Amino acid sequence: MPPRFLSRLLAPGLLVALLGAPAFAQTPAPAACAPGTSALPALERSGQLAEAEAEAANVPNGEGKLFRVERAGVAPSFLFGTMHLTDPRVLTLPPPAKAAFEAASGLVIETTDVLDPTIMATALLSRPDLTTLPAGQTLETLVPPDEMKQLAPQLEKRAMPLAAVQTLQPWFLATQLLVAPCEAARMKEGAKVLDLALAQDAKDSGKPVEGLEKATEQLEALASMPLDLQVDNLAATLDLVDELPDLFETMTDLYLSGRIALIEPATSALAPAGTDEARSIEVTQRFDEAVVDRRNAVMSERLQPLLTKGGLFVAVGALHLPGETGLVESLRRTGWTVTRAD
């Protein structure tokens, strides 16, 4: 799961990118933030980058973060792929995207629920089945003892003592672990992820902000992973904790250059999606179905009536754009003309 769960920063949900914030609010920020090192040069030397590039080349619309969406009689809108991070490089919109955002009549993001703490709290409390384990089960009954020994100290570092989280589902805990130190420090200082920064800017300039999903829908997508796979993925996540800065830097490097379809094969070359190859394949398939493909279909359906208004800036995780089920192809199939604008 790690590469795919890391990819949540581009696709699976704005809500999930923020779930770690409450824990980090109680955790002392590092005295100095040490950014990671992009693994792309090393992957190139090993030949793995060429293999990943060949895979990415087969993905429709695999390059580009900004697309123009238009139809006769309707003012053009723009579709922009985000990365759910507070990294200043990510927060700085490329000039074409900045111009499109400033000229837009309104903003559309994945979910506006994240803008209201009360709605967020209600979403989490109203569906405990999505974040807590079934009655009678605990982490200690599900997670092997050796992995529990690794898990406990990592949670302690995040102000989440094991006794307080024994009944939380493994997927939820994985979101707490998959936040790099620099990101944790910026969150503690109040920095917003790109999507929320855009929403704040839109509100400040009087532009309406609309959403495509509810917070509970994003939670349902992530909680749909069977518990046995969640446990396996949590184990793989623990093995990645020390590598997070480099993984984040590699993803950010590719995102900034617009090589979106290359992110998944490149990160998969660095770390497995599960504890063995069979598990990795199963996790990837389950993840794609529930967290990417199904949500792509829902977002596309809900986005189209909004696009008829014209002049919108639509900002969603970048991994929702490429591929046969991605928003770019989906909108084309329903009669919209979609072209790269960056």
60 versus 238: the higher-pLDDT residue is 60
Question: Is residue 165 situated within a structural domain?
Answer: no
Question: Is residue 284 situated within a structural domain?
Answer: yes
Summarize the confidence of residues 235-262 as an average pLDDT: 91
Structure tokens at 108: 């559309």
**Per-residue pLDDT at 335:** 96
Question: Is residue 276 situated within a structural domain?
Answer: yes
Instruction: Name the one residue in this structure whose structure tokens are 């754009």.
Output: 321
Question: Is residue 158 situated within a structural domain?
Answer: no
Q: What angle do CA 102, 105, 111 make, to 5 degrees?
A: 95
Tell me if residue 162 falls in helix, strand or coil. Answer: helix
CB atoms within 10 A of CB 16: 25
Question: Is residue 197 situated within a structural domain?
Answer: yes
pLDDT at 27 over 50: no
Question: Is residue 61 situated within a structural domain?
Answer: yes
Mean pLDDT of the chain: 87
Give per-residue pLDDT as tens, 41-80: 999 999 999 999 999 999 999 999 999 999 999 999 999 9
Q: DSSP assignment of 205-219, as one string?
A: TT--EEESS-HHHHH
Structure tokens at 29: 């920020």
276 versus 190: the higher-pLDDT residue is 190
In the chain, beta strands by DSSP E: 66-71, 74-82, 106-109, 209-211, 312-317, 337-340
**Per-residue pLDDT at 17:** 58
Q: Give the alpha-carbon dihedral of 158, 163, 168, 170, to 10 degrees.
A: 60
pLDDT band for position 2 (cuts 50, 70, 90): very low
Question: Is residue 71 situated within a structural domain?
Answer: yes
Domain containing 268 equals 2-25+38-135+170-340
Distance between CA 199 and CA 91 in Å, rounded?
12
φ, ψ for residue 109 (rounded to 5)?
Answer: -125, 175
Are residues 195 and 315 in contact, defined by beta-carbon separation less than 8 angstroms? Answer: yes
Question: Is residue 144 situated within a structural domain?
Answer: no
Strand partners, 109: 211, 315
Task: Supply the pTM of this predicted model.
Answer: 0.89
Tell me how many domains the chain contains.
Answer: 1
